[in-house]
Amino acid sequence: MSPYLATLVTFLIAIAFLRLMDFLANRGYIESRLSRKIIHIGTGPIFVLCWLMFIDIYYSRWLAALVPLVITLQFALVGLGIL
């Protein structure tokens, strides 16, 4: 699989997981605290499992690193009240 496609798929899976947890918390199916814990516990293994999609090219590691970087920046911007 192309490393660019692998990056896109990894982003989509991670964002879908985050949105699912937000949906469940907003609907009251799970508490907000539990949702945050599930997000913290779940995003790491999802990211690690997605590593298997990246081929062995020197820039794949940088593309793979974009996913947690962008998600972290998003959380930081939300926490700072910018988003």
- Whole-prediction pTM value? 0.81
Q: Domain locations in the chain? A: 3-79
**Euclidean distance between CA atoms 38 and 19, whole angstroms:** 12
Per-residue pLDDT band for 31 (boundaries 50, 70, 90) equals very high
Q: What tokens appear for 66 in the block?
A: 């974009």
pLDDT at 83 over 90: no
Mean pLDDT over the full length of the chain: 91
Q: How far is CA 69 from CA 22, 30, 58, in A?
A: 20, 27, 18
The token pair at 33 is 């605290």
Mean pLDDT of 12-38: 92
Residue 4 has pLDDT above 90, yes or no: yes
11 pLDDT exceeds 90? yes
